[in-house]
Structure 1
């Protein structure tokens, strides 16, 4: 870890700090191998995805044990309110209806959580696009809870994790991303996403390093 990286993380451990964990799109459409056949994942990418979800399970458990606020951000695709620009990008047609393979359609099994799920009382935010902040009250909810910095995990690193992390940073929350608690469907894309996020958006860490920051805050209080 570089000296700059150490300074960034060290500033987040004071007694007045109040972190939150934002879990993005860990839903069956994005995490379950049963839903990913059309994405062409290599065996290595599937292993990395499985490991990332395991790390997410671990950091969620640690957050709960340490009293860190958890926010669950979930994609909720609505056939009655289609995301036309996304259809254009993927299908070349603004008016294309959702296909049977559309991810996370409201009320379908694909929209269900995968291997992790909110506990009673934990905040859930439903989104229509990539970022958990776009068109939602996530920013207001974080402000209301006095959150001072956020850790963002989930699926996938180059898309919804990146979009949510970038908006958090632009809205003035320091962002930490544990690279072992997110993944893409291609190892090269994940590596590139982490590099770009490190350059412009977030402090890159590991799950163990984030949990240690939370423990230091608990000890300081």
Structure 2
């Protein structure tokens, strides 16, 4: 006999809701060539559509005066600064310093006034100083997007919550290697740590 659905199982347990604050920023996590280039070991079929959503959100945010923050990943040759993460996932050599796979796509490059934080671990916050910068600027809400949903997006959303920011994960602007992990992580983020919103809702938060 089949058990209850995930939604039924979580009902009545994880039903809290977060409301956006008054000072949002857009955090674009690791939207770089490694995930968009066919033949790359990290290539994802769904990455291109998510990139297009990110571009629309970034344009709207800049027009509304909402800060736009990018992250990328870069390692010293051989992963000397990559620690256990680099050992666990040798595919990260795609981000060794000088690799073209670490570059931002031509149609989503940081613009003057945008910020870029380079990281070595999944979370946009770990070892980067991002939280301190956001707190200093009075940011209370983060629209979080990028790659991959189950990896760096999830880690960044979790840390955003732990640092006191309201995390809003934008569904269309995230992508993963497979629909299963993508949907499962969006489900769990919504249940416990963040609000998963669509692109139209994100535009409203931005004020576009």
TM-score range, shorter chain: 0.7 to 0.9
Counterpart for residue 199 of structure 1: 191
In 2: Cα distance, 1:87 partner to 1:171 partner: 25
Q: CA deviation at 1:103?
A: 2.1
Deviation at 1:143, TM superposition (A): 1.0
Tell me the equivalent position of 1:23: 28
SS at match of 1:153: strand
Measured in 1, the distance between the counterparts of 2:94 and 2:191 equals 30
CA distance in 2, matches of 1:113, 1:34: 17
Corresponding residue for 2:84? 85
- In the superposition, the TM-score normalised over structure 2's length comes to 0.84
Q: Give the secondary structure class of the aligned counterpart of 1:193.
A: helix
5+ residue gaps, structure 2, are: 1-13
In the alignment, which residue of structure 2 is the partner of 1:109?
A: 100
Q: How many correspondences in the alignment?
A: 193
**Paired residue for 2:9?**
none
Q: What TM-score, normalized to structure 1? A: 0.80
Pair 1:148–1:135, CA change in 2 (3 A): same
> Which whole-Å deviations, capped at 9, do the CAs of 1:161-217 have from their partners, x for residues lacking one?
1111110101110100111100101111111111111122210101111111222xx
Q: Whole-Å Cα distance in 1 between the matches of residues 155 and 25 of structure 2?
A: 17
Q: 1:72 to 1:87 in 2, by over 3 A?
A: closer
Q: Which residue number in structure 2 is paired with residue 128 of structure 1? A: 120
Counterpart of 2:154 (choices 153, 162, 165) is: 162
CA distance in 2, matches of 1:74, 1:108: 12
The DSSP-based 3-state class of the residue aligned with 1:159 is helix
CA RMSD of aligned residues (A): 2.3
CA contact (8 A) 1:56 1:154 kept: yes
Distance in 2 of aligned mates of 1:113 and 1:5: 37
Per-residue deviation, residues 83-115 of structure 1 (Å, max 9, x unmatched): 231243236xxxxxxx7x722222221111023
Q: Indicate the SS of the match to 1:23.
A: strand
* Residue matched to 2:71: 73
Give the SS at the match of 1:152: strand
State how far apart, in whole Å, the 2-side matches of 1:142 and 1:208 are: 24
2:55 to 51, 54, 57: 57
Do the aligned partners of 2:186 and 2:196 also contact (CA within 8 Å) in 1?
yes
Residues 77, 103 of structure 1: 8 Å contact kept: no
Closer, same or farther: CA 120–111 of 1 in aligned 2, 3 Å: same
The structural deviation recorded for 1:6 is 10
Partner of 1:179: 171
Q: Which has the higher helix share?
A: 1
